[in-house]
Amino acid sequence: AQSVSQHNHHVILSEAASLELGCNYSYGGTVNLFWYVQYPGQHLQLLLKYFSGDPLVKGIKGFEAEFIKSKFSFNLRKPSVQWSDTAEYFCAVKDQAGTALIFGKGTTLSVSS
């Protein structure tokens, strides 16, 4: 079965620090990859997605992710985090049927001002 693993459970950064959250998926075929963010008390929102083409994907709020097929990875990056980036971040892959999202366990990011 497909799976997604997120390496970091909780990341604590100071404002202006750079961020990289790891994500690895298990499926070796064509993949559709996503990063979602959940701000405290809010619903899941899509940060960015990769379906095909340029492996460097730019999303909202200055986030980007790089798809590296050989490493089965889709890491999320941001050059300079802000206090408002404090949230839980989920990496997800579409299942082989192209229906459901398979999520990682999530990474909680805490940014101190």
Partner 1 sequence: DSGVTQTPKHLITATGQRVTLRCSPRSGDLSVYWYQQSLDQGLQFLIHYYNGEERAKGNILERFSAQQFPDLHSELNLSSLELGDSALYFCASSVAGAYNEQFFGPGTRLTVL
Q: Does 30 bind partner 1 (CB under 8 A)?
A: no
Which residues, 45 to 84, sit near partner 1 by CB under 8 A?
45-46, 49, 51
Q: Does 89 bind partner 1 (CB under 8 A)?
A: no
Rule CB under 8 A: choose which of 9, 40, 99, 113 binds partner 1: 99
- Rounded Cα distance, 21 and 8, in Å: 7
Contact 4, 25 (CB under 8 A): yes
Q: Which amino acid is at 36?
A: Y
Residue ranges binding partner 1 (CB under 8 A): 32, 34, 36, 42-46, 49, 51, 90, 92, 94-95, 97-106
